[in-house]
């Protein structure tokens, strides 16, 4: 079993870098266990488990095994093809059977293929199982009967040098830094290979590949603004990972994962990059859509496991899974692809906490709403921390704008821009700064604060005085109810036109109390107050409260249905019956087939609407004052609105 320069398997020289590395790893494992070598040399059937570093190693290690360990024996068809548990007869020249299981096929489970184990051994053939996770993928009977368990290590300096020698005929004059060996994958070994067969050039090329992979994000958590809870968690994680890396803290004491949820554009992906930068570890990214692009179910599962394997190999590391809510909730699957979708979610759960574990790999999931997550994903040991990433406040927006501006506008006070931007996201800030620079560049002049303000205001159609006033009355209605009934909750009111709205109000949801009937009624009054204000002032209403599933009427209807269907706030005989949270796509159909429910919801909404109108009539001076200020400034802060309403009633 000599290896190195000129190493071959049988009569064939090794030309594949992956097989050359597999040869050396197997050689090392066998040399380290003399008793194992002696057992395998005996001409009697044995059962062996070969645990490989990752899924991609299954095929090359299985190909090398026969030529290195049993060069005079012939392999039969794979064990998964045997369909009887006894009385099976091998080919005349066969003496061993292989199970190659990387987890990409549905039958790669402990309950499948067991008949082949007893059939092969009973016919006098040895059985070898190759897998990155034997307990998880190989037949359970092979695990039970195994005479030996061979574990191949990650490729090390010696194995790399000898495999390069086997390929080129020369040992490289210099190896890789120790820190890079843990990053090597089978794909890296093949990507670095060229026909020139120059050992030093090959190692240099491999080093460049690995150093690119190793690069840590230049972002840091101290550059992230408006997400204080997430930054605090990330800062603590960075300290724990450093202690773990130095051996001062066990992996069990480190947070294994977190779910970040919040509106699009609030910086969840950027946070993952900054977290990796602060921790000084690699960032690996994946998503269901990325893995689905690999092909059918088997390809998807293989791609997902490859991503997790990469994170394990590069540990400590951060694995970021974007739009993780797209996996769905297994209990809600009703479509024809239900079995497919359940297998995908189950595979994710296995990767999050499977038999192999994921020591050193912290998983960060991101989504817009946490209520679309399968509860099992959020259990302890998986993504057991849930952190809301809100839209940034005024101070945070000023910091974000300053970050993106870099050295531009150093003497400009960004308070006005931040106020105008309230309700927007960090992604919006980046876009506005880019646009402001473009304005200045196309005008062949230096950028000014007005360029930034114009970008924030955006491209607007010319509003008539009547239009602007109606929008102001509508948003003032929402703001008035918040100012009167939930002091301190209103953040801003705005009639600034965006691509998808004519304005809106932003409130601090943390100031809400327990979800009671009283709290629901107050929320409904706030949602319906915009329409109510229009009716009080103009004597009629516009369509501004309706439209999409995010409209005032849609949200109010969904909340009222939830109160009866899911929150247990129904006084009727079904008050203790939970029917589930209504989804936007099912809400209309639910009300259509339940006219009795529709009538009750109509009464609830009508009551809240009447109460909102009454409140607006009683605080009409405050409504007019807020509307007039919105017309003048477009965006007004919550504290200023509360003071205005209070003084108007005095």
- Positions marked active-site: 475
Note whether 147 and 46 are within 8 A (CB).
yes
Q: State the Rg of the chain over Cα.
A: 32
Instruction: Give dist(CA 66, CA 10) in Å, integer.
Output: 9
Note whether 394 and 422 are within 8 A (CB).
yes
Cα–Cα distances (Å) from 57 to 33, 151, 184, 354, 385, in that order, read 21, 12, 12, 19, 34
Instruction: Give dist(CA 59, CA 22) in Å, integer.
Output: 10
Q: Who's near 71: CB < 8 A, 6+ residues apart? A: 9, 10
Instruction: Give dist(CA 11, CA 3) in Å, integer.
Output: 14
Note whether 67 and 96 are within 8 A (CB).
no
Note whether 137 and 79 are within 8 A (CB).
no
Instruction: Give dist(CA 66, CA 531) in Å, integer.
Output: 77
Instruction: Give dist(CA 29, CA 58) in Å, integer.
Output: 16
Token duo for residue 350: 């296995």
Instruction: Give dist(CA 596, CA 377) in Å, integer.
Output: 37
Cross-strand bridge partners of residue 257: 363
Q: Who's near 467: CB < 8 A, 6+ residues apart? A: none
Note whether 319 and 284 are within 8 A (CB).
yes
Q: Who's near 88: CB < 8 A, 6+ residues apart? A: 82, 116, 119, 120, 122, 123
Token duo for residue 552: 């005032």
Token duo for residue 349: 């759960």
Cα–Cα distances (Å) from 173 to 19, 166, 204, 577, in that order, read 22, 14, 11, 74
Cα–Cα distances (Å) from 441 to 29, 396, 437, 588, in that order, read 63, 27, 6, 50
Is omega for the bond preceding 316 within 30 degrees of 0, making it cis? yes
Instruction: Give dist(CA 149, CA 36) in Å, integer.
Output: 9
């Amino acid at each position: 079993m000599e290896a190195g320069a000129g190493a071959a398997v049988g009569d064939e020289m090794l030309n594949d870098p992956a097989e050359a590395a597999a040869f050396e790893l197997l050689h090392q494992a066998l040399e380290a266990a003399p008793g194992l070598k002696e057992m395998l040399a005996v001409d009697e059937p044995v059962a062996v488990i070969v645990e490989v570093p990752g899924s991609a190693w299954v095929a090359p290690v299985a190909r090398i095994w026969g030529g290195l360990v049993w060069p005079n024996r012939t392999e039969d068809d794979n064990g998964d093809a045997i369909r009887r548990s006894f009385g099976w007869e091998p080919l005349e020249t066969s003496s061993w059977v292989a199970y190659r299981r990387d987890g990409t096929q549905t039958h790669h489970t402990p309950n499948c293929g067991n008949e082949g184990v007893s059939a092969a051994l009973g016919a006098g053939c040895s059985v070898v199982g190759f897998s990155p996770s034997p307990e998880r993928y190989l037949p359970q009977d092979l695990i039970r009967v195994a005479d030996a368990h061979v574990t191949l290590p990650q490729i090390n300096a010696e194995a790399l040098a000898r495999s390069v020698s086997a390929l080129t005929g020369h040992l490289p004059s210099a190896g890789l830094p120790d820190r890079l060996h843990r990053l090597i994958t089978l794909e890296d070994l093949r990507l670095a290979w060229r026909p020139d067969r120059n050992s030093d050039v090959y190692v240099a090329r491999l080093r460049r590949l690995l150093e690119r992979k190793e690069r840590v994000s230049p972002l840091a958590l101290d550059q992230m603004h408006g997400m204080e809870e997430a930054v605090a968690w990330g800062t603590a994680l960075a300290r724990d990972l450093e202690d773990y890396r130095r051996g001062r803290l066990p992996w069990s004491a480190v947070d294994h994962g977190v779910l970040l949820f919040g509106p699009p554009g609030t910086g969840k992906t950027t946070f993952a990059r900054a977290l990796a930068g602060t921790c000084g570890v690699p960032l690996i990214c994946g998503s269901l859509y990325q893995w689905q692009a690999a092909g059918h179910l088997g390809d998807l599962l293989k791609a997902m496991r490859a991503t997790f394997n990469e994170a394990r190999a590069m540990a400590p590391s951060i694995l970021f899974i974007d739009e993780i809510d797209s996996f769905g909730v297994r209990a809600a699957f009703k479509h024809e692809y239900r079995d497919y979708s359940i297998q995908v979610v189950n595979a994710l759960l296995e990767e999050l906490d499977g038999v192999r574990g994921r020591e050193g790999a912290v998983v960060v999931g991101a989504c817009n709403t946490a209520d679309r997550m399968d509860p099992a994903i959020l259990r302890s040991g998986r993504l057991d921390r849930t952190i809301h990433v809100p839209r940034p406040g005024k101070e945070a927006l000023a910091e974000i704008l300053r970050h993106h501006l870099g050295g531009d506008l150093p003497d400009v006070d960004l308070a006005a821009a931040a106020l105008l931007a309230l309700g927007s996201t960090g992604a919006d800030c980046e876009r506005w700064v880019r646009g402001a620079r473009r304005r200045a560049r196309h005008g062949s002049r230096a950028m000014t604060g007005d360029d930034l303000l114009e970008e924030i205001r955006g491209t607007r159609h010319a509003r008539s005085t009547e239009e602007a006033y109606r929008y102001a009355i509508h948003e003032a209605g929402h703001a008035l109810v918040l100012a009167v009934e939930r002091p301190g909750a209103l953040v801003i009111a705005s009639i600034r036109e965006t691509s998808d709205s004519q304005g809106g109000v932003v409130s601090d949801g943390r100031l809400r109390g327990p979800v009671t009937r009283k709290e629901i009624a107050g929320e409904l009054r706030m949602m319906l107050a915009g329409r109510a204000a229009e009716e009080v002032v103009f004597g009629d209403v516009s369509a501004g409260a309706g439209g999409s599933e995010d409209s005032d009427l849609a949200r109010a209807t969904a909340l009222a249905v939830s109160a009866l269907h899911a929150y247990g706030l129904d006084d009727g005989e079904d008050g203790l019956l939970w029917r589930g949270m209504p989804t936007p796509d099912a809400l209309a159909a639910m009300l259509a087939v339940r006219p009795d429910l529709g009538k009750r919801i109509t009464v609830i909404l009508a009551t809240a609407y009447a109460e909102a109108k009454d409140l607006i009539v009683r605080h009409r001076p405050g409504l007019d004052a807020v509307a007039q200020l919105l017309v003048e400034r477009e965006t007004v802060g919550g504290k200023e609105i509360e003071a205005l309403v209070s003084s108007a009633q005095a």
